[in-house]
Structure 1
Amino acid sequence: MTAAGSIPDPAELKAARVLVVDDNRINRHLLTALLERGGVGHLETAGDGNEALDLLDTFRPDLILLDLMMPHLDGFDMCRRLRAMPAWQDLPVLVQSSLNRAEDRARAFAAGATDYVAKPINAVELLSRVRIHLQNRALLADLRLFRQRTERELALARQMQERLMPSPERLAGTAAAGVRIDAHFAPSSELGGDCWDLHRDGRGRLIVHLVDFSGHGVGAALNTFRLHAITQRMDFTEYDPAAFLAAINRRLCPLLPAGQFATMLSGVVDTAENRFVYASAGSTRPLVWGPGGAAPEAGDGSGLPLGLVDGIDYQTRTLPLPPGGRLFLYSDAALEIPIAGGGVLDEDGLLGLVDACGRDDPDGAAFLDRLRLALADSGPIDDDLTALLVTRMAGA
């Protein structure tokens, strides 16, 4: 591919397909001869707009050189019909006409013409414009292919990122620990840095952690893969939340580029002590509430994010979690939704939605679905949204 503004490569012109549409046979011959001498390799002609439209699917032109004044279907109407076809909306149409008034040019452009040259034709000008439009079309085709390939690769990366999350089979297996987990994960339009996972300690207790890396795109997504690889190599037999975060921080500090970090909450559901024992590295505040309509209690999410400073100690904290109680963990996308009137949803707004969506509904998945819709109704969600509802099973 040649650089913008330069003469196209002869091989590109040789591969180009130009459709000449003119009711005058002599003009068609003159134009095709000119284009052939200019290096265009594939030429076809049509005597009016109807004939030209019939040739589109078989000849598949890269450019149309169009006369405006023709019988049956003139150039104006042909342009309008062409632009109504999704497959040909961006096809270059170079009009050549003896109509030289500003009103005629404006009418041609309104109908869908790309460019306009006046008769009598100047051969050098015509060839230059043909080359420019063919080059632009080739560039646009390359960009379209690049975008399609990028979108496919991003979709694959999103699928891989989603596979880092616990599968439905793993979620079903949490019942053995006396816990049910309902989860919602919705990646943003681009790759992001949310992830969460489950583990068991040596006593069979359920460990849950939620992570949110700074930034978006490929870099943030790669960091989630890094963290997943780190946690898979760790020993959870003698799990301690604060020591776990300190160990993760030690491993992340040399891996993350300057300015990148992660917030994380990691904790264990202790059914024997009816509590959730956790540590936080700058995460959102966990919410717990007991059965029977008890008001939610917010935990402490403070702590230095991971990956910034090596050698940091973290604090172990506890929240009550009796049988029938619930623990709600969420990413900061739920708090940073812009709302009408300015500002963001923040914690008070989220608590209001949690109450309004029926936080005591026995069907945790239905509660999360209602909450997801309520968050979307509050404003645009521009980040990955993760929400986990951990329910202590009655009698467990």
Structure 2
Amino acid sequence: MNKNKLINLSSTQILDFMNDGVYVTDRERNILYWNNAAERLVGWASDEIVGRSCFDNLLCHVDKDGHELCGKEHCPLHRAMVTNSSSTVPIIVFAQCKDGTQIPLQVSVAPITDESGAVIGGVETFRDLSLLMKDLKRAKNIQKQSLRLPENNDPRVTFTVHYVPFDVVGGDYYTIEKLDDHRYVFMLADVMGHGIPAALYTMHLHGLWTECRHLFAAPAEFMAEANRKLCNLAEDGDTFATAVFGLIDLDRQQVRFSNAASPPLIVSRKNGGLESFESPGFPLGLMKNMDYEETNISLHPGDSLLCFTDGAIEVRDAEHHELGLSGFMALLKKIGYPDSKSEMEKIEEKLLQYSNSIRFEDDLTMLSIKLTE
């Protein structure tokens, strides 16, 4: 008898017994279904939600990086429908409850297809992440203390960073420090992997930055010493980091840098031209006693220097074509970098549009240094 009762339950009745919130939209992001757990988690009843559009922004969804999601490109459910792919790992989203409070949610999304395979809608499940989020926020605040930019109070130069970790914390590390009235040093590194393990290794990099500061004026020597020390810290050989370290001399209008398998640097000239600069080097933490080369770049007022981790060039489209360096430079030229407003956010959005992913599959960090005219 009980077996027959279960068989006769509809799919929506079964969904109402789930602990996770579930809602379904059509391709235009109109909400068609909202289960009991969704009401329990955020306070909105089904009759208040069903029939509304995500564009109404009733839930005020934002992601961990502060992007507004409802009706926007970064919306995970929208990305699932346009890419016809399901999320493979949970995504952190913040939703506004009916009482005005905000709740962290762990979200999974998937497209809904018809018999022909065409996407006709999407489904999202979500659960409360409040307990874990307290620890993640503490970890984020600790890591944030090691990620430094100088105050933009030098009229000759402007520094901008755009940091999008895969998780709440990530494996990218950046820092810029003023040496004297005319010199700055910078470093951008990418530890293998992402999430909490990679974030812990970035703290090693921060420690190395302090230990090796006596070599700030010699980029190649700094990189060699940082590599040697990181090899001692990561003796298992399972963790390494790509990195670029540079010295900016405003008086000489010059950047001297060394690279440890990080992507090339891109210089946008005042006249609109884009150039890439490479410097060969082995990743940090794999082999001791490696030598590194030093490369010089002339940088004049009106020029911009862009450093970035490989998350910017390893995105793939629906045909699995990698964007690559040339594609990334074409994207920069198309949006008018560095003269367009909010160019870093525009770069991020264009990269996401190019990709065939619901979200970036790696940490993404871009560091821009512009000499003002």
TM, length-normalised to structure 1: 0.60
Q: 2:332 touches 2:347 (CA, 8 Å); kept in 1? A: yes
Q: CA 1:204 to 1:271, structure 2 compared with 1: closer, same or farther past 3 Å? A: closer
- Which residue among 211, 220, 245 is the counterpart of 1:266? 245
Structure 2: 5+ residue stretches without partners: 18-125
Inter-partner Cα distance in structure 1 for 2:2 and 2:178: 80
Q: CA 1:147 to 1:393, structure 2 compared with 1: closer, same or farther past 3 Å? A: closer
Q: CA deviation at 1:218?
A: 2.2
Aligned to 1:316: 294
Q: CA 1:148 to 1:298, structure 2 compared with 1: closer, same or farther past 3 Å? A: same
Aligned to 2:176: 198
Q: CA deviation at 1:148?
A: 4.8
**1:306-360 CA distances to partner (integer Å, 9 max, x unpaired)?**
1111111110101221111110111100011121221221111111111111114
Inter-partner Cα distance in structure 2 for 1:275 and 1:350: 24
Q: 1:323 touches 1:392 (CA, 8 Å); kept in 2? A: yes
Q: CA 1:106 to 1:211, structure 2 compared with 1: closer, same or farther past 3 Å? A: same
Q: Normalized per residue, which structure has more helix?
A: 1
Alignment of 1:1-396 (within 5 A): 100=1, 103-108=4-9, 111-112=13-14, 148-167=130-149, 170-173=150-153, 175=154, 178-189=156-167, 191-201=169-179, 204-236=182-214, 239-256=217-234, 257-293=236-272, 295-361=273-339, 363=341, 366-379=342-355, 380=357, 381-394=360-373
Q: CA 1:358 to 1:236, structure 2 compared with 1: closer, same or farther past 3 Å? A: farther
**1:138-159 CA distances to partner (integer Å, 9 max, x unpaired)?**
xxxxxx9996543432232123
Q: Give the alignment's Cα RMSD to 1 decimal.
A: 2.6
Q: 2:259 touches 2:281 (CA, 8 Å); kept in 1? A: yes
Whose radius of gyration is greater, 1 or 2? 1
Q: CA deviation at 1:162?
A: 2.8
Q: CA 1:267 to 1:238, structure 2 compared with 1: closer, same or farther past 3 Å? A: closer
Partner of 1:245, secondary structure, is helix
Q: CA 1:204 to 1:322, structure 2 compared with 1: closer, same or farther past 3 Å? A: closer
Q: CA deviation at 1:377?
A: 1.4
Aligned residues: 259
Inter-partner Cα distance in structure 1 for 2:280 and 2:286: 15
Q: 1:194 touches 1:386 (CA, 8 Å); kept in 2? A: yes
**1:118-140 CA distances to partner (integer Å, 9 max, x unpaired)?**
xxxxxxxxxxxxxxxxxxxxxxx
Letter in 2 for 1:156: R
Q: 1:201 touches 1:237 (CA, 8 Å); kept in 2? A: no
Partner of 2:367, secondary structure, is strand
Q: 1:286 touches 1:301 (CA, 8 Å); kept in 2? A: no
Letter in 1 for 2:151: L
Q: CA 1:284 to 1:356, structure 2 compared with 1: closer, same or farther past 3 Å? A: same
Partner of 1:253, secondary structure, is helix
Per chain length, whose mean CA-contact separation is higher, i.e. which structure has more relative contact order (CA < 8 Å, sep 6+)? 2
TM, length-normalised to structure 2: 0.64
Q: 2:279 touches 2:295 (CA, 8 Å); kept in 1? A: no
